[in-house]
Chains A and B, each alone.
Chain A
Amino acid sequence: MFTTKALRQAAQHAERTPSIRFIGKRTIPASIDHSPQPHPASPTHSLPPSFTSASSHTSFSAYRDHAQQFGPLRKTIKADAGVGGAAGSDLGPVAAPKGTFFDRNDLPARFHRQPLTAAEIEAIETGGAALYA
């Protein structure tokens, strides 16, 4: 009986542990670092400075060339020429290209609509009755 126990113990020690082990259900890491890292197959193992700098644009004007805010903020005046640096005819047609729509609020403040006064709001909400109250 003692011999059997010893043999069993010896067998347990001899039992092989495979390299491949089931690690359980895959879990999503709680926090993932999304900062740009070089691609694993990149031959240089590095990223150009444009990936790591906070902004790839050299000036605010250059930024506006690429910026998106409810649509591209395209400019019609070239950055290098400056305002008045090019003939009006060179700036192209005044009419918007097909499918492009301008919003009044994208224009300088002087072109914006006047803010509504409290009296006007009141008048609208009461269907005009407030004007006679």
Chain B
Amino acid sequence: MLSQRILGRSAVKSAFKPSGLPSVVSAGRLRRTYATESEPRDLVIIGGGVAGYVAAIKAGQEGMKVTCIEKRGTLGGTCLNVGCIPSKSLLNNSHLYHQILHDTKHRGIEVSDVKLNLKQLMKAKETSVTGLTKGVEFLFKKNGVEYIKGAGTFQDEHTIKVQLNDGGETSVTGKNILIATGSEVTPFPGLQIDEQTVISSTGAIALEKVPKKLLVIGGGIIGLEMASVWSRLGSEVTVVEFLDQIGGPGMDTEVAKNIQKILKKQGIIFKTGTKVLDGEKSDGAVKINVDSAKGGKPETLGADIVLVAIGRRPYTGGLGLENVGIELDERGRVIIDSEYRTKIPHIRCVGDVTFGPMLAHKAEEEAVAVVEYIKKGYGHVNYGCIPSVMYTSPEVAWVGQSEQELKKAGIKYRVGTFPFSANSRAKTNLDTDGQVKMLADAETDRLLGIHIIGVNAGEMIAEGTLALEYGASSEDIARTCHAHPTLAEAFKEAAMATHGKAIHF
């Protein structure tokens, strides 16, 4: 009896331990724990996509005990598995195929008997994906990240119940919880995606044969990249876009017009300012009824396959946010503050599932910042300086503000452009489509935006992003030595054109 009383007294003492979380008392009769027997983690991450896995690795590097829950079975999320990476593989290899067919003869290389092996093309894509997803798993092990394959649901504010992929259930508790569940394809009302005849971007990277006619609903980045792939491989591609310009609302209007002309020359048919009314499937084909955005020009378009690429929406299904009372906005995004906290401060959220552009590199930046906020109390993401890239041929890349945004904001600016047709390296490569366009403050000369159409624009935009992040002026770039002959010289010359005059144009 006395010994029982002693234990009771020690339990009272343990209740006043300064730790924020309980430690598991080893004495058999006195275990004060959460509703789980596993050890509480410093950080539990729901989602192993770019946001989730980067946060997990960063947290591991910071010495935190971290668990990452992912239900797909492979890490990397949409980007690595069915998004950025596989699409880039198809874009690269379809470009090679198209170039061999149409662009080598006048360069003095004659190739005969060129055949497309779609199965092998897809295999090459899968090899890239597998290599990268396995690489992330290796990085998890290297940084001591616990990886649970299963679907996580909030049980309470500190506990995540996990339905394991292999069957069974477990739960994990954390001092901090990070929601990084990403996004999913936005369905088109009245057009059921079956991934056979009506497909999403996921289906578009895994077609078993080249469709004769492909209709793409949505002329944004995903739609145009997939339109390029299948057009190069032999499809007749029509892109239907509700807005008057392609590339989405973020693309500079002048740039959007120029790239539309270039892609049209490549054989893609555009129907801008056109809305899709409905569609019906019959005998392995789809008929889509469209009309002009203003109405009055109804038309029916036929296709073997319809790709729905009207955007993506935040994914919070099955997460059990209602169990903890976390709020979503009218577009289904998790509401967070400037330190990525939800209204429950230890539950934070980053990536596609919350505010900001749905871009992998934005998610990556946020993932690092959120771990720094948890660990050190400060972090950094500059939302005014996130580059966008469209991997068509030529590529389109931009960072900062567009001309239409500056006009709307009433900011006085100067414009400088330099075409690749005046760049020596582009000339030698016989790749002269596109230009570099720079926007700078009329008074201070500080860079405000950079918009590039051109081969490797996605690489060149890094220089612009760095300049913008550092608050450079166009003169700073113009006075920086660039190697000759390089495409990057066009970047310098555009800066010279903004600040004063370009030499070679």
Listed in ascending order, the chain A residues whose CB lies under 8 Å from chain B are: 16, 18-20, 28-29, 32, 34, 36-44, 47-48, 50-51, 56, 66, 68, 70-72, 74, 97, 99-101, 103-105, 113-114, 116, 120, 123-124
Contacts and interface: CB of A to CB of B under 8 A. Distances in A.
B22 A66 contact: no
Q: Helix, strand, loop or mixed for chain A's interface? A: loop
Nearest to A42: B355
A71 B343 contact: no
Contact of A100 (B2, B35, B340, B344): B35
B472 A123 contact: no
B378 A28 contact: yes
A19 B473 contact: yes
21 contacts: A19-B446, A20-B470, A20-B471, A20-B476, A28-B376, A34-B377, A39-B354, A42-B336, A43-B329, A48-B327, A50-B343, A68-B158, A71-B32, A72-B35, A97-B35, A99-B35, A101-B33, A103-B30, A103-B32, A104-B11, A116-B5
Contacts of A34: 339, 377
Contacts of A51: 335, 337, 343
Nearest to B331: A43
B15 A113 contact: no
A120 B9 CA distance: 13
B355 A39 contact: yes
Given A41-B356, A42-B355, A70 B479 contact: no
Contact of B479 (A18, A41, A42): A18
Given A51-B343, A70-B15, A99-B35, A20 B472 contact: yes
Interface of B: 2, 4-6, 8-9, 11-12, 15, 22, 30-37, 156-159, 171, 324-325, 327, 329, 335-341, 343-344, 354-357, 376-378, 381, 383, 445-446, 470-473, 475-476, 479
B236 to A, nearest CB: 38
Contact of A101 (B31, B324, B343, B476): B31
A56 B343 contact: yes
Given A28-B378, A29-B378, A104-B11, A71 B476 contact: no
A46 B235 CA distance: 47
A68 B31 contact: no
Given A37-B338, A41-B355, A42-B355, A19 B476 contact: yes
A105 B15 contact: yes
A39 B338 contact: yes
A39 B337 contact: yes
Contacts of B22: 70-71
Given A36-B339, A74-B156, 5 more contacts: A48-B327, A68-B158, A101-B31, A103-B30, A105-B15
Contacts, number: 117
Contacts of A101: 31-33
A129 to B, nearest CB: 14
Contacts of B156: 66, 68, 72, 74
A124 B2 contact: yes
Contacts of A48: 327, 335, 343
Contact of A71 (B34, B338, B340): B34
A32 to B, nearest CB: 6
Contacts of A40: 338, 381, 383
Tell me which of B4, B156, B158, B470 has the highest count of chain A C-beta atoms within 10 A of its own C-beta.
Answer: B156
Given A37-B337, A70-B15, A43 B343 contact: no
- Please give me the 5 A-B residue pairs with the lowest Cβ-Cβ distance, nearest first: A41-B356, A41-B355, A36-B337, A70-B22, A113-B8
Contacts of B356: 39, 41
A132 to B, nearest CB: 16
Contacts of A28: 376, 378
Given A71-B35, A72-B159, A56 B325 contact: yes
A124 B383 CA distance: 65
Given A70-B15, A104-B11, A36 B34 contact: no
Tell me which of B4, B9, B340 has the highest count of chain A C-beta atoms within 10 A of its own C-beta.
Answer: B9
Given A18-B476, A66-B324, A104-B8, A32 B378 contact: yes
B34 A38 contact: no
A36 B260 CA distance: 43
A19 B15 CA distance: 57
Contact of A72 (B37, B158, B338, B475): B158
B475 A19 contact: yes
Nearest to B34: A71
B325 A66 contact: yes
Nearest to A51: B343
Contact of B157 (A32, A38, A50, A68): A68
Nearest to B381: A40
Contact of A113 (B5, B32, B339, B470): B5
A47 B377 contact: no
B275 to A, nearest CB: 24
Contacts of A99: 33, 35-37, 171
Given A16-B479, A113-B5, A113-B8, A36 B341 contact: yes
Nearest to A124: B2
Nearest to B3: A124
Contacts of B35: 71-72, 97, 99-100
Nearest to B20: A68
B471 A19 contact: yes
Contacts of B338: 36-40
A110 B158 CA distance: 30
A119 to B, nearest CB: 11
Tell me which of B32, B158, B354, B357 has the highest count of chain A C-beta atoms within 10 A of its own C-beta.
Answer: B32
